[in-house]
Homo-oligomer: A and B are copies of this chain.
Amino acid sequence: MVKENAEYSRKKSSLDKVSKYIPAVRWLRSYTKEDAISDCIAGITLGLTMIPQSIAYAALAGLTPQDGLNSAFVGCFIYSFFGTIKEVVIGPTSLMALLTYEYTHHLSSDFVILLCFLCGVVELIMGALNLGFLVELISAPVVSGFTTATSLIIVVSQMKSLLGLKFSSEGILDNIIKLCQNVKKVRTGDTLLGLTCIICLLLLRKLKDVNIPDKFPYRSVIKKTLWFISTGRNALIVVLSALVAFYYKEKGGAVPFYTTRTADTSIPSIRLPPMSTTFNNRTYTFPEMVSSLGTGYLVIPIISVLANVAIAKAFVNGAVEASHEMVTLSLCNMAGSLVQSMPTTGAFTRSAVASASGVRTPLAGLYAAALTFMALGFLGSYFHYIPKATLAAVLIAAVIFLVDWEIVKQLWKKSWLDLFTVGCTLIACITLGVELGLLLGVVVGLINLVYRWARPEILVENQKSYSGNVVMVTPMTGFYFPAVDFVSSAVQKAGLTKGRGKATVYVDCSRFSGTDYTVAKGINSLVAAFEKRGQKLQFINVPANCYALWTGTGCKEVYFKRTEDSTNIFDDSGKALQILEEDNDKEPEQKSLLSKEDCQV
């Protein structure tokens, strides 16, 4: 049995070694026909969404459509082999576009490419340093707030295309205001098409759950067809709408709705990122280029990693291999810089579309990448038939199911703090931007964690030994620097009130998992105060690491009894302890520990 286990784990570990670096190996070993069909449908849908989106986001960053498509296909391609999360789709996103614009709007496109490369390098360093654990700081309420906020932002931002309006806006609030201002300019054609698409998408979504009586003829064929139509609904709707546009154009009449912008594009050439450039009649060396980018090459990777992991966490139930994701993202960006890409990260909208299209493995990205690549080469001329309102409908129908109402119901009256975190993140994401919203959510969580160390619960008990009354003070968690004043005051108060300035005070350190130098200094002050008063103070059950640090940094040994010495501490006088009165009955375990002492005599 043990041998079998060893054999199994050896086999497993050699497979693990390969699939650890190229997770595609893992999928491919058990890749079925259904998986392939699902991935193909999802991939094509993704491609159809990705191409117009990439062009739009490139424009947002002040770049050309060619730049946008270049950025899109490389990320998709690399991620399908090295990625771990099937829903994640790497490419240009609105967040990256805005940040890139912020750091490079006064510079040339060479700087954007270098920025993309540097982002990759920084992400690689983050991955190599195993900084992946940092993303564990993104708690479930933060993910929920972020997801809901992003979904709402996307819905609002797509309303414009859905209603056939044209204006530029900054942020969700400005968008809503401008929607209201332009309400009279709403175009019937776009609105009708968009709403029809949304209704069709929502109905088709339910199609695969339709119950067919057992005895119905060709039941299994019908069931498969329904599933196929339901899963491929996004691609289907896009193609059908494009056909409608094609029909109108062939007829020679005006198309009653806006279609996607076309652009002259070509297969990108592969070349190293620029290490020097000439811009505005000035030659920039590599260090000058880097310094022109300001803090961009630090801020963008951090935010892209945060966003990527937040998206991953929104779709995955369980652990995200964050360090691996960082390295993969780094590869996408470094490879991207070879084909003149802008910085990329996981795209929330496209992840939602992939999820809604029944994606099975990251390999779906391969189809999307291929489609984008073909668009660059020769498909470009066909894409201008895709109506804008249809794409808006696809995005809206994919993200509305990500708005997380459930969490509010679950947390109501159960955990106000978690609910507060959801609210903070949600509101900050909407009003200040998703990057600041994410950050605020993380900070709220961290403040709470630090607070737990700073204000430990403290149990104070009067106890009676035959030699007199003693006071037992038990802090319920570890003892680190933010708690120094708090615990010191509690011990002082216990000594003065419960111990009336006379009774020996015992501080039970059994729950301390560690300590630091500030605590040692605090204990020294505390000991001095008790000495001055002539009251006895004793720390018992001191763990070995605390004992070493405290006595090593100037505290007198006589005040501390290690765990192993503490069992005999009350036997010095040959007498035992009896619980006299209690302040706090929250922790029966502690009391049983004490009564155990009691029993020993």
- Other-chain residue from B139, B478, B518 in contact with A139 (beta carbon distance below 8 A): B518
Chain B positions within 8 Å of A137 at CB level:
450, 481-482
Of A47-55, A265-273, A334-342, A546-554, the segment with at least 4 beta carbons within 8 Å of chain B is A546-554
Q: Are B457 and A513 in contact (CB under 8 A)?
A: yes
Tell me how far the C-beta of A415 lies from the nearest C-beta in chain B, rounded to whole angstroms.
Answer: 5
Q: Are A516 and B139 in contact (CB under 8 A)?
A: yes
Distance of A445 Cα from B454 Cα, bound (Å): 12
- Other-chain residue from B141, B477, B554 in contact with A478 (beta carbon distance below 8 A): B477
Which of A407, A448, A477 has most chain B Cβ within 10 Å?
A477
Chain B positions within 8 Å of A484 at CB level:
136
Chain B positions within 8 Å of A564 at CB level:
588
Q: Are A139 and B517 in contact (CB under 8 A)?
A: yes
Within 8 A of B (CB), among A503-522: 510-511, 513-514, 516-518, 521
Distance of A278 Cα from B189 Cα, bound (Å): 54
Interface residues on chain A, number (Cβ under 8 Å): 66
The contact string, 1 if C-beta is below 8 Å from chain B, for chain A 539-561, is: 00101000011001110000000
Distance of A589 Cα from B518 Cα, bound (Å): 26
Q: Are B500 and A5 in contact (CB under 8 A)?
A: yes
Q: Are A596 and B588 in contact (CB under 8 A)?
A: no
Distance of A518 Cα from B417 Cα, bound (Å): 12
Q: Are A480 and B449 in contact (CB under 8 A)?
A: yes
Which secondary structure dominates chain A's binding surface?
Answer: helix
Which residue of chain B has the shortest Cβ distance to A318 in the bound complex? Answer: B525
Distance of A485 Cα from B140 Cα, bound (Å): 12
Chain B positions within 8 Å of A510 at CB level:
589
- In the complex, whether A196 has a CB less than 8 A from a CB of chain B is no
Which residue of chain B has the shortest Cβ distance to A481 in the bound complex? Answer: B139
Tell me how far the C-beta of A283 lies from the nearest C-beta in chain B, rounded to whole angstroms.
Answer: 28
Tell me how far the C-beta of A557 lies from the nearest C-beta in chain B, rounded to whole angstroms.
Answer: 14
Which residue of chain B has the shortest Cβ distance to A541 in the bound complex? Answer: B589
Chain B positions within 8 Å of A525 at CB level:
317-318
- Other-chain residue from B477, B489, B554 in contact with A477 (beta carbon distance below 8 A): B477
Within 8 A of B (CB), among A375-393: none
- In the complex, whether A563 has a CB less than 8 A from a CB of chain B is yes
- In the complex, whether A133 has a CB less than 8 A from a CB of chain B is yes
Chain B positions within 8 Å of A549 at CB level:
414-415
Chain B positions within 8 Å of A554 at CB level:
410
Distance of A237 Cα from B1 Cα, bound (Å): 87
Distance of A358 Cα from B449 Cα, bound (Å): 42
- In the complex, whether A168 has a CB less than 8 A from a CB of chain B is no
- In the complex, whether A219 has a CB less than 8 A from a CB of chain B is no
The contact string, 1 if C-beta is below 8 Å from chain B, for chain A 304-321, is: 000000000000011100
- In the complex, whether A226 has a CB less than 8 A from a CB of chain B is no
Chain B positions within 8 Å of A533 at CB level:
none
Which residue of chain B has the shortest Cβ distance to A412 in the bound complex? Answer: B552
- By a beta-carbon cutoff of 8 Å, the part of chain A in contact with chain B is 1, 5, 133, 136-137, 139-141, 317-319, 407, 410-411, 413-415, 417-418, 445-446, 448-450, 452-454, 456-457, 476-478, 480-486, 488-489, 500, 510-511, 513-514, 516-518, 521, 525, 541, 543, 548-549, 552-554, 563-564, 586, 588-589, 592-593, 596
